[in-house]
Amino acid sequence: MSRGVRGATTCTANDEKQMISNTKRLVEEMIEKNTIDPSDVSHVFISVTKDLTATFPAKALREIPGWTHVPVMCMAEIDVENSLSACIRIMMVVNTVKSQQEIKHIFHNEATKLRPDLIKGEMR
């Protein structure tokens, strides 16, 4: 069964090192909390808001051992008025036996505002 694992984080500046660091930290927690093996990942979509242009956040996944061959694509998030700025969103599609209710979606920094119902008191 394929399941989507969501994650999101924000940055305080349009800075390559911060974008890579925040993305890597987010993905590593997504992996840990959902016991994800890279061989079980179909693909990963990463979107960024228009104010983050310093780098491709997908570079962060290449720093994680075993993730070299996982297909990753970056894209622009739609520009919605009054939406969260400096935001990196991830949709990781994995093969798993877990139910949708067992998937742990991860939100860091200001992105915790996106889905407080999924965080359930686990503010980061």
One-letter identity of residue 111:
A
Q: Is 124 annotated as a binding residue?
A: no
Structure-derived torsion over alpha carbons of residues 21, 32, 89, 109, reported in degrees to the nearest 10: -60
Q: Which residues of 99-120 are buried (b: 16+ CB within 10 A; e: fewer)?
A: eeeebbbbbbbbbbebeeeebe
Q: Is 6 annotated as a binding residue?
A: yes
| 113 SS3 class | helix
Please state the residue numbers annotated as binding site: 6, 89
Please state the residue numbers annotated as binding site for prephenate: 6, 89
